[in-house]
Amino acid sequence: MSWKLGIDDLDALAIGAAILGTGGGGDPYIGRIMAEAAMAQRGPLTVYTVDELPDNQWVIPIAGMGAPTVLFEKPPRGTEPMEAFLRLAEHIGVPDAWPCPIEAGGINSMVPLQVAAQLGRPVVDADGMGRAFPELYMQTYHIFGISGSPACMVSEFGDAVILDRIHDNHQLEWLARGLTIRLGGHSFLAQFPMQGRDVKRAAVRGTLSLGLRIGRAVIEAQKQHIDPLSALCEAANYAGYGPAFIAFRGKITEVRRRTEAGFAKGQVTIEGLDGDRGSTLGIEFQNENLVVRRGEQSIAMVPDLVTVLDAQTGLAITTERLRYGQRVAVVVIPAPPIMKSPEALEVWGPRGFGYPFDYVEPALRVAAEKGE
Amino acid sequence: MSWKLGIDDLDALAIGAAILGTGGGGDPYIGRIMAEAAMAQRGPLTVYTVDELPDNQWVIPIAGMGAPTVLFEKPPRGTEPMEAFLRLAEHIGVPDAWPCPIEAGGINSMVPLQVAAQLGRPVVDADGMGRAFPELYMQTYHIFGISGSPACMVSEFGDAVILDRIHDNHQLEWLARGLTIRLGGHSFLAQFPMQGRDVKRAAVRGTLSLGLRIGRAVIEAQKQHIDPLSALCEAANYAGYGPAFIAFRGKITEVRRRTEAGFAKGQVTIEGLDGDRGSTLGIEFQNENLVVRRGEQSIAMVPDLVTVLDAQTGLAITTERLRYGQRVAVVVIPAPPIMKSPEALEVWGPRGFGYPFDYVEPALRVAAEKGE
């Protein structure tokens, strides 16, 4: 059933979306301000589940592209996502399209809410990544053969570019990335226009709800002074995700970073505390956390969701905010089956990020469950 | 009056357009093949002078963008310019627009002819550069305040991008250049859509005729075994251009080149022969020939047209084909007044290319005329 999402829900969604961001996707803060301003004017949103979406209802996914940090240096005017959405809708002749998320993790969780509020339209409870990923074609919409173009990009200068017919979704990423860089490092992009029947076969379902559930669980645990980590793991067992578990608790002892081809790459080393005392965990990241290693063994990896959290508060720590000495917990939320088909793993399994090995289910689950 | 341009005219136009290319603009060869193939199917073209263009007739300038040399490595499919033209015409709702040149010099002289032939539409005897220039905003259309966007770019893969609303023409150059690089170094671009009344105030007139006149003069002189250089100078005194003159005759003794920010920059040194024996000329180029120096004195400069020609045949030598030992003549064709307004000189006078001095009229004219 469709449900209402109000301003009061944005706190929880920001917390949950940051956790689904798996270290990347950007701090939801600026997106949240934008969504909040629009909802303050227009009231709560109607959220449609994928099931109840009419087959012939046009849907246009919308998100920011580029470095979210740029938004702090030059905040958006606030109309860019709506403009990208409307211009694309007009270009393809579907004036009554509904906005839909591209990326449930990070700042992009908020962008479609802002557009829905500004236009007084429903938003769809689904996305194309089921988390955060760095590149445009890393979407179930792509994996299910839907064309990313026509797409429309809008910059904070009001520049609008329609990527009208692009021969494949990798080329779309390549051209849109180039434009985004020349537009100063960030833009807003409406893409993968499709009908309800395509959303039904190609979207990761319930991810807006999932973000809310996780965020609410953390807030509730904080209020009740119980462990937010266990609460969020329980909440994350939803919509095909999970079973989630706490893979490690410890203290950050080293962070290595490098910038390579526009991505923030690096590795964080965590020395165990409590039950994990005496052992060491390493996480390799490229914007998002990719692979978790204990010694030589890779114990969790993309596309499963690996998030580093503040051990006390249960709040996510993005990869750019990892620091020596932080007390953290590493939570693994196994991704749902739609994200683990052979076609999906080719795009965003370990090999999709250049690792020379295949995806395996998280190996620590049993150990972690045993330890609790 | 409107006139006809047939396949038999393409030889002369290729020669004339190469001379108007002032060392850049690309060898017209591939463009000529494309135009010829289209005209073989559809017959001769109707060329409209600017005067007789209806005020409300929509016109869309069309050209290639990027490195013309790339076209030799990966020749176009042949439909790219037409697709860019038609897609932009459809996007802005002017289905009966006519093609018009952007750049009279080099390969881009041919591109609008091909489109006109393919579509069976007239072409306009005018352009926006009056020669060849390296950047998109170096057009009288820009100088007269016409927006370059909406524009449409098409690649040889069939990718089509609409630069729908770009906040100024420098930004259009910046974004279109970035796309062109990511498309492999060359693309075709329809831009500056405008009505006849705008062409009348903003175009450099008669430049298609000018190219033809110059080319015909060279061919005729070759047949009659008279000096093609004098013949082309006489023919170039047309449509506000001129008086053209032979600035120097000599032998190339040094060519220095470097690639900087995607441009072929460099300098050629020519030692005088015949009446110029004992003196030395230097020409600095950035794709096109920019400034001619004799000792410390700059004797000719942009936007006047400086072309290095084979001293015997009168055929232009592009900057990338300059070689030690070539016997050459340097011809200067003063640009027409519309290209020398204060606003125009700001864009493409010496300061527009980073030189620390203002434009001055060519100083050698008197000396050259005296020497003949």
In Å, how far is A183's CA from the nearest CA of chain B?
A: 8
Of B87, B159, B161, the CB nearest to A161: B161
Q: Which amino acid is at A164?
A: D
In this structure, are strands B45-48 and B123-124 parallel, antiparallel, or unpaired?
parallel
Determine whether the interchain pair A164/B166 forms a contact, defined as Cβ–Cβ distance below 8 Å. Answer: no
**Angle (CA) A270 A271 A277, round 5°:** 140
* Those residues with Cβ within 8 angstroms of residue B223's Cβ, 6 or more apart along the chain or in another chain: none
pLDDT of residue B366: 47
Measured in whole angstroms, the distance separating CA B141 from the mean position of its chain's CA atoms is 14
A182: chain B residues, CB-CB within 8 Å: 174-175, 178
Determine whether the interchain pair B162/A162 forms a contact, defined as Cβ–Cβ distance below 8 Å. Answer: yes
**CB neighbour class for B175 (10 Å; exposed up to 12, middle 13-18, buried from 19):** buried
Determine whether the interchain pair B175/A164 forms a contact, defined as Cβ–Cβ distance below 8 Å. Answer: no
pLDDT of residue A372: 44
- Please give the CATH number for the structural domain made up of A236-371: 2.40.390
Determine whether the interchain pair A171/B179 forms a contact, defined as Cβ–Cβ distance below 8 Å. Answer: no
Determine whether the interchain pair B160/A161 forms a contact, defined as Cβ–Cβ distance below 8 Å. Answer: no
Nearest CA in chain B to A169: B159
Determine whether the interchain pair A159/B174 forms a contact, defined as Cβ–Cβ distance below 8 Å. Answer: no
Question: Which residue out of B80, B152, B159 would a mutagenesis test of the A interface target, given it has the greatest number of A Cβ atoms within 10 Å?
Answer: B159
Decide: B46 and B4 in contact? Cβ < 8 Å.
Answer: yes
pLDDT of residue A93: 97
Decide: B139 and B145 in contact? Cβ < 8 Å.
Answer: no
B118 backbone φψ class: left, alpha, beta (φ>0; ψ -120 to 50): alpha
**Count of A–B CB contacts within 8 Å?**
61
In Å, how far is B114's CA from the nearest CA of chain A?
A: 23
Please state which of the four CATH numbers 1.20.1440, 1.10.287, 2.40.390, 1.10.260 is assigned to the domain occupying B237-371.
2.40.390
Q: Which amino acid is at B14?
A: A
Domain boundaries, chain A: 3-205, 236-371
Residues B237 and B213: their CA atoms lie apart, in Å, by: 10
| A305-310 sheet: strands from edge to edge | A297-301, A288-294, A280-286, A263-272, A245-260, A327-333, A305-310
Chain A residues with at least one Cβ partner in B under 8 Å: 87, 91, 152, 157-167, 171, 174-175, 178-179, 181-183
The 10 Å Cβ neighbour count of residue A200 is 15
Strand pairing partners for B216?
A: none
Please state which of the four CATH numbers 3.20.20.70, 3.40.640.10, 3.40.1610.10, 3.40.190.120 is assigned to the domain occupying A3-205.
3.40.1610.10
Residues B30 and A303: their CA atoms lie apart, in Å, by: 48
pLDDT of residue A364: 60
pLDDT < 70 regions, chain B:
364-372
Residues B162 and A157: their CA atoms lie apart, in Å, by: 17
pLDDT of residue B28: 87
In Å, how far is A181's CA from the nearest CA of chain B?
A: 9
Q: Would the CATH topology of A3-205 be identical to that of A236-371? A: no
**CB neighbour class for B371 (10 Å; exposed up to 12, middle 13-18, buried from 19):** middle
Determine whether the interchain pair B160/A165 forms a contact, defined as Cβ–Cβ distance below 8 Å. Answer: yes
Determine whether the interchain pair A178/B174 forms a contact, defined as Cβ–Cβ distance below 8 Å. Answer: no
Determine whether the interchain pair A183/B161 forms a contact, defined as Cβ–Cβ distance below 8 Å. Answer: no
**Angle (CA) A302 A240 A264, round 5°:** 25
Each residue's pLDDT tens digit, B353-364: 999 999 999 976
Along chain A (372 residues), what's the average pLDDT of each consecutive run of 10 residues?
Answer: 95 97 90 94 96 97 89 86 98 97 96 97 98 96 98 95 97 96 94 98 98 98 96 97 95 92 89 94 96 92 98 95 97 98 97 96 62 47
